[in-house]
């Protein structure tokens, strides 16, 4: 009997951050500050420099993420630190 094995590819830190719909960060270019979606190269640089911490770990862009994701921290050494505690969803059976 042949058994099929499902292979699940875990996202890297870069693909996970890139795939988020909303990133609560302010982008600064020269003297202008804008609130908007960063480019892929900005996200890549942030991960390379340790400006994004996932579950308490500074991951490089191609490192795999350990699930479940409980916390994201953006720019931990900056003047404005953004911390996101990921809300855990409950199943209908829990009290």
**Does 21 fall in a domain?**
yes
Residue pLDDT, tens place only, 3-27: 776 666 778 999 988 888 777 666 6
Structural domain containing residue 61: 13-85
- Residue at 74 is within a domain: yes
Structure tokens belonging to residue 1: 């009997």
* pLDDT tier at 30, thresholds 50, 70, 90: low
3-state secondary structure of 7: coil
Residue 80 lies in a domain: yes
List the end-to-end C-alpha distance of the chain, in Å, as a whole number.
Answer: 42
84 three-class SS: strand
Q: Would you say residue 2 lies in a domain?
A: no
Total of domains in the chain? 1
pLDDT digits (tens, 9 = 90+) for 37-63: 788 898 899 999 998 999 899 999 999
So what's the pLDDT on residue 95? 43
Q: Is residue 78 part of a domain?
A: yes
Q: Would the pLDDT of 90 be above 60?
A: no
Q: What is the pLDDT of residue 89?
A: 46
- Interatomic CA distance for residues 60 and 45, integer angstroms: 9
């Amino acid at each position: 009997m042949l058994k099929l094995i499902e292979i699940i590819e875990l996202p890297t830190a870069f693909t996970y951050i890139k795939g988020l719909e909303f990133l609560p960060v302010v982008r600064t270019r020269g003297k202008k500050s804008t609130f908007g979606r960063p480019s892929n190269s900005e996200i890549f640089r942030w991960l390379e420099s340790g400006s994004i911490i996932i579950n308490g770990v500074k991951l490089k862009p191609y490192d795999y993420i350990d699930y479940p994701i409980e916390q994201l921290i953006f720019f931990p050494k900056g003047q404005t630190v953004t911390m996101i505690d990921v809300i855990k969803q409950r199943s209908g059976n829990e009290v």
